[in-house]
């Protein structure tokens, strides 16, 4: 291999490992990654790159490893057709003769190369070795699923995961009710009897109300276990795990056997406990730590009670743990955190950091507690989904792009993540220094070598309970902006992945669970991403707030066919706020927008309002020359409902013209993100017909087009 000068060698090595040496920012200007960034990211991939000699040797080893592996780790069989694939042999080894395909169901197919088409493509000299590459064309059609291909030759042997999947993800042609729904963060849902935050029972109640209004979808934020911060907050987008449901949302009083435990019943009836409940219920903000501690006071003795009894609950718990072995491993991890007294597993002894937790490393009662609350969370989530489904309402769930670096997934799957690296976004006009989301990105090759088992498990976990699933930051399937260990967000660059392999998994899992897929593609995304989404039947998102700049420039954006249309998202101001410029004032107060820039921002917003109402024309006139905010909201929802959008998602709080934003990204504790409760309780929502006034113009008809046949998986 030719030795390259230091910088050229480093750049060549980075590209070999999918690290972009430059990218274009939002202004279209090329930004070149610093050498320190490239070296740090290569180091996180386990590749030596400290000097020119390191780079040259790593390039040689990488080329040899990539060229000499018998098979690629993953092969995609779109629509079941196994494509021609390459097999490699070393030196003078005879070409592969025998192949074995083992289907997911255990069926074995033996393929003899003498009966199929095989040709030698090339012989490549790498160092002192010769790698011979053969092209194999079996013409085999496979059932949908995850299969294994193995090739046997004298030396070496190799295996590959075959993902046999439909090209397009699952898509049911919706009727009118399936096409629209309401979004609400579960933590924000209030009732007259809550303990300071919404529960799975609250979600079930809201589903019933949506059904009564004629809707069919209920959207919410990720419902996963999370760590809670000292100031009382908690981000749903940094979960402890993406494989289980959040214990925080348990409705303690809905547990069938809660009154069978004398200690729990006595505490529930105590004056001090009821006063704490009233205090948390009366607060306008969710205090995650206090709410969780309150529930633990009841759940802990209840867990001990169930464990001590040989009754129905104990037997059902044991059955759950037998069928969900992951739960006991998770519970041991959480119990070890408590015993070690360290929030981060990175500070544990080496044996424990490497995944070896033993009974002496945790208190057995603490482990049992986490097993118990996971069982309750699973039961209540399942019940919520089933009862909502009985009302023809499905959940629209959200799969976050990352996990907490100190959480269970980052520990148990640590080889699948880049150590010390976090993903985020490069600088733009709003976040001028970039964004650091704090979540470790996937190792692009390690995740392939494991057959994407973790990603498959995450998708399956969510899709089992979702009628529709939002894939957060779908651009991350293609590449992620990665920030080196200890670096600033502005010092990152992009790392590439293998998007078609992940699209195949998404498609296969969506058909297995009959779950529609929506990709979060907001902001500036490369053109190939919307094309890939369309090719694979994944709905895009149309968000009015994002389109206001287009309206200000005199451009009337078209709502794309088959998209999910909405006014805003959880990271944006509610409709009443941005329609009346309240968000501009808030951005000034928080230091996001300079005071000198506020007048021009208001001018652009005024131009956008004028253009939008002009475009809507007679739909927005209502016989009046001027409309109030609610009237504008109604006609915009009517416009969305009359468009080619596949779904329309309405922010529940927009129905009473809420002005407080649920989350303001990038400013830390200066704003109570993820903590603000809804202004109206569920009882008030259900009993106040005026709340649903804005939905009257949301007249949805089935999307035109040919109904697709469901694919049998």
Q: How does residue 710 score in pLDDT terms, banded at 50, 70 and 90?
A: very low
- pLDDT (tens digit, 9 = 90+) per residue, 182-199? 999 999 999 999 999 999
Who's near 430: CB < 8 A, 6+ residues apart? 592
User: In the β-sheet with 145-152, what is the strand arrangement from edge to edge?
Assistant: 74-78, 157-165, 145-152, 98-102, 108-112
Query: Tokens 């979600």 label which residue?
Result: 203
pLDDT cut 90: percent of the chain above it: 74
Length of the chain: 713
Q: How many CB atoms lie within 10 A of CB 52?
A: 16
Q: How does residue 711 score in pLDDT terms, banded at 50, 70 and 90?
A: very low
Q: Can you read off the two tokens belonging to residue 688?
A: 């106040």
H/E segment holding residue 219: strand 217-219
Range 547-571 average pLDDT: 91
Q: What is the pLDDT of residue 480?
A: 97
**How many whole angstroms separate alpha carbon 204 and alpha carbon 140?**
46
Q: String of b and e for 577-599 (b: at least 16 CB within 10 Å)?
A: bbbbbbbbebbeeeebbeeeeee
**Is omega for the bond preceding 156 within 30 degrees of 0, making it cis?**
yes
Q: String of b and e for 230-269 (b: at least 16 CB within 10 Å)?
A: eebbbbbbbbbbbbbbbbbbbbbeebeebeebeebeebbe
Is it the case that residue 704 has pLDDT exceeding 50? no
Looking at 135-245, list the stretches that DSSP marks H as alpha helix, in order from N- to C-terminal side: 200-213
- pLDDT (tens digit, 9 = 90+) per residue, 145-162? 999 999 876 555 689 999
Q: How does residue 705 score in pLDDT terms, banded at 50, 70 and 90?
A: very low
Vertex 503, ends 500 and 509: CA angle to 5°?
145
203 close to 189: Cβ distance less than 8 angstroms? yes
- pLDDT (tens digit, 9 = 90+) per residue, 280-337? 999 999 999 999 999 999 999 999 999 998 899 999 999 999 999 999 999 999 999 9
Q: How does residue 28 score in pLDDT terms, banded at 50, 70 and 90?
A: confident
67 close to 61: Cβ distance less than 8 angstroms? no
- pLDDT (tens digit, 9 = 90+) per residue, 564-607? 999 999 999 999 999 999 999 999 999 888 899 999 999 999 99
Are β-strands 394-399 and 217-219 bridged in parallel, bridged antiparallel, or unpaired? parallel
Distance of CA 303 to the CA centre of its chain: 31
In eight-state DSSP terms, residue 626 is S
401 close to 423: Cβ distance less than 8 angstroms? yes
- pLDDT (tens digit, 9 = 90+) per residue, 471-490? 999 999 999 999 999 999 99
């Amino acid at each position: 291999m030719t030795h390259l000068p230091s910088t050229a060698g480093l750049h060549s090595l980075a590209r070999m490992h999918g690290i972009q040496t430059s990218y274009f920012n939002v202004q279209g200007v090329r930004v070149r990654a610093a050498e320190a960034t490239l070296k740090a990211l290569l180091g996180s991939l386990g590749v030596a790159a400290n000097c020119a000699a390191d780079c040259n040797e790593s390039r040689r080893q990488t080329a040899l490893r990539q060229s000499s592996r018998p098979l690629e780790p993953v092969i995609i069989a779109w629509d079941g057709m196994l494509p021609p694939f390459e097999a490699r042999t070393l030196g003078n080894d005879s070409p592969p003769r025998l192949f074995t395909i083992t289907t997911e169901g255990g069926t074995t197919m033996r393929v003899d190369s003498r009966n199929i088409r095989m040709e030698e493509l090339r012989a490549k000299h790498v160092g002192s070795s010769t790698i011979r590459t053969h092209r194999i064309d079996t013409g085999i059609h496979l059932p949908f699923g995850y299969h294994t291909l193995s090739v046997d030759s004298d030396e070496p042997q190799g295996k590959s995961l075959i993902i046999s999947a439909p090209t397009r993800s699952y898509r049911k042609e919706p009727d009118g009710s399936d096409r629209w729904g309401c979004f609400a963060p579960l933590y924000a849902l209030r009732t007259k009897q809550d303990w300071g935050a919404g529960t799975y029972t609250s979600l079930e109640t809201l589903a019933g109300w949506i059904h009564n209004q004629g809707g069919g979808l209920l959207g919410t934020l990720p419902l996963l276990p999370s760590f809670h911060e000292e100031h009382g907050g908690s981000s749903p987008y940094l979960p402890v795990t993406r494989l289980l449901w959040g214990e925080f949302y348990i409705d303690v009083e809905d547990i069938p056997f809660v009154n069978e435990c004398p200690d729990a019943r006595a505490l529930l009836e105590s004056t001090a406990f009821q006063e704490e409940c009233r205090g948390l219920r009366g607060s306008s903000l969710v205090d995650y730590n206090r709410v969780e501690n309150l529930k633990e006071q009841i759940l802990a003795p209840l867990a001990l009670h169930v464990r001590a009894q040989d009754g129905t609950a104990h037997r059902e718990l044991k059955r759950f743990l037998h069928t969900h072995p992951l739960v006991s491993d998770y519970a041991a991890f959480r119990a070890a955190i408590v015993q070690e007294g360290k929030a981060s597993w990175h500070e544990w002894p080496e044996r424990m950091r490497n995944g070896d937790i033993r009974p002496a490393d945790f208190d057995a009662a603490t482990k049992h507690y986490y097993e118990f609350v996971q069982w309750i969370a699973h039961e209540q989530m399942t019940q919520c989904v089933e009862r909502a489904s009985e009302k023809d309402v499905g959940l629209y769930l959200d799969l976050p792009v990352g996990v907490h670096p100190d959480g269970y997934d980052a520990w148990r799957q640590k080889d699948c993540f880049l150590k010390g690296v976090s993903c985020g976004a490069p600088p733009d006009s709003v976040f001028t220094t970039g964004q650091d989301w704090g979540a470790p990105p996937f190792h692009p090759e390690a995740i392939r070598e494991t057959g994407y088992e973790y990603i498959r498990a995450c998708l399956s976990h969510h899709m089992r309970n979702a009628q529709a699933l939002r894939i957060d930051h779908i651009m991350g399937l293609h590449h992620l902006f990665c920030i080196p260990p200890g670096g600033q967000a502005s010092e990152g660059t992009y790392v590439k992945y293998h998007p078609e392999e992940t699209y195949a998994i998404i498609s296969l899992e969506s058909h297995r669970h009959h779950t529609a897929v929506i990709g979060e593609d907001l902001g500036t995304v490369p053109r190939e991403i919307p094309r890939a989404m369309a090719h694979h039947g994944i709905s895009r998102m149309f968000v009015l707030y994002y389109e206001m700049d287009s309206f200000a420039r005199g451009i009337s954006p078209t709502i794309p066919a088959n998209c999910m249309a909405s006014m805003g998202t959880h990271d944006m101001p509610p409709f009443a706020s941005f329609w009346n410029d309240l968000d501009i004032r808030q951005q000034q107060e928080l230091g996001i927008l300079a005071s000198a820039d506020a007048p021009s921002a208001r001018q652009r917003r005024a131009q956008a309002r004028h253009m939008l109402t002009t475009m809507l024309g007679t739909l927005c006139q209502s016989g009046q020359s001027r409309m109030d905010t609610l009237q504008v909201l109604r006609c915009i929802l009517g416009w969305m409902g009359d468009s080619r959008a596949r779904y329309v998602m309405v922010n529940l709080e927009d129905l009473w013209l809420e002005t407080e934003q649920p989350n303001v990204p990038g400013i830390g504790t200066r704003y109570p993100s993820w903590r603000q409760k809804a202004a109206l309780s569920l009882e008030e929502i259900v009993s106040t017909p005026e709340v649903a006034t804005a939905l009257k113009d949301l007249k949805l008809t089935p999307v035109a087009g040919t109904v697709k046949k469901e694919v049998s998986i």
